[in-house]
Amino acid sequence: MYKNKKTQIIFTKCILGTIGLLFLLGPEMNGFLYYMTERCVFNSTDPKDIELIASWYYNKMEVNRFTSSAGKFVGYTEYGVKNADFWNNGPFLNTMRAEKERFCQHNIGIWYSNVLSKSVQPTVRLHSSTPSSGHHPAMLVCSVYDFFPKDIKVSWLRDGQEVSSDVTSTEEMEDSDWYYQIHSHLEYTPRQDGDSLQQQRSHPEDSPDAASQPTSSMVDILESINKKLSSFNACLTIKEILHKEFQALRESVEFSQQKTETLAVENTVLRELVKSLTEGMTQLYDLKRFGIEDGQLSARL
């Protein structure tokens, strides 16, 4: 299930470049990087749920830290202890105590109004596949796309019970457009009496009904197929079954088209024959009306 986890926004400030004895270095310039970071850790906009953590680093080692919950500086090296003692007894202490409100609360409000309050309902695709290895002949793949925020849970149910074995899932993967995707695989052996397999997800954007409602379109197909399959053809994938059905349907359609075309040609010939006979009988009837027999036609002309 989705949990409201604490969120960290990390702002880095490089307050000084390199420190070294330049007059001893000659033409080359070396030294140790000295920098400071400020982190805002929070799970709401309430000041009680916000903590400022400021750290000072020298040569990749943290030497000093200030936290808004403690309200003072601490040192982690000999140099850092001296710094902490000096800062805790000077005006810099009050400056850092005010930094939580100035720096964290202001930026957290911006993030909540523009990013963290936004959510997008996931799109789910369910299909079958054949596992490359393992002890089961069939596999279902649930692919969940285009959701935000990152927190989501994808689970499988069999006969109403959550399946924990033969299930593999990827981590939530970034799409580089603020959206995420995740894929879950369930390997299983179809039963001759049919299976009741369900996939469900839980995401903050889902309504209670949508979150608990199984995606059953593919499940219904699988149940229908499983009841008809024997132990031999149970290993066939859905793709193979659908391909065979499509081939049979296409052959039936082609045969029907050929038969229809043949009947159309025969019908056209028959119509032309009837037309010719009708015209001939009409001419013969007209000749006889005027007393002209077949043998007299050429003489009178």
Mean pLDDT of 3-18: 54
Asked if residue 243 is part of any domain, the answer here is yes
Residue finishing a domain among 116, 133, 148: 116
Asked if residue 25 is part of any domain, the answer here is yes
The per-residue pLDDT of the chain, averaged, comes to 74
Asked if residue 1 is part of any domain, the answer here is no
- Examine the domain organization and report whether 242 and 231 are in the same domain: no
Q: What's the pLDDT score for residue 2? A: 37
Give which of 249, 204, 196, 241 is closest to 223, Cα–Cα: 196
DSSP string, 50-99: EEEEEEEEETTEEEEEEETTTTEEEESSHHHHHHHHHHHTSTHHHHHHTH
Residue finishing a domain among 48, 81, 116: 116
Q: Kind and range of the H or E element at 17?
A: strand 7-19
| 3 state SS of 43 | coil
- Examine the domain organization and report whether 227 and 270 are in the same domain: no
Q: What's the pLDDT score for residue 206? A: 60
Q: How confident is the model at residue 154 (pLDDT cuts 50, 70, 90)?
A: confident
CATH of the domain at 74: 3.10.320.10
Which structural domain, as residue segments, surrounds residue 273? Answer: 237-301
Which sign, positive or negative, has the C-alpha torsion 8, 12, 13, 18?
Answer: positive
- Examine the domain organization and report whether 109 and 13 are in the same domain: yes
How many folded domains does the chain comprise? 3
DSSP string, 132-172: SSSS-SEEEEEEEEEEBSS--EEEEEETTEE--SSEEEPPP
Asked if residue 2 is part of any domain, the answer here is no
Whether the per-residue pLDDT at 236 is higher than 60: the answer is no
- Examine the domain organization and report whether 75 and 157 are in the same domain: no
Asked if residue 127 is part of any domain, the answer here is yes
Residue finishing a domain among 84, 116, 148: 116
| % of the chain exceeding 90 in pLDDT | 25
Mean pLDDT of 194-201: 58
Note the pTM of the prediction, 2 decimals: 0.46
Q: How confident is the model at residue 24 (pLDDT cuts 50, 70, 90)?
A: very low
- Examine the domain organization and report whether 215 and 273 are in the same domain: no
Mean pLDDT of 140-160: 86
Q: What's the pLDDT score for residue 231? A: 36
The answer to whether residues 101 and 107 touch, using CB atoms and an 8 Å cutoff, is no
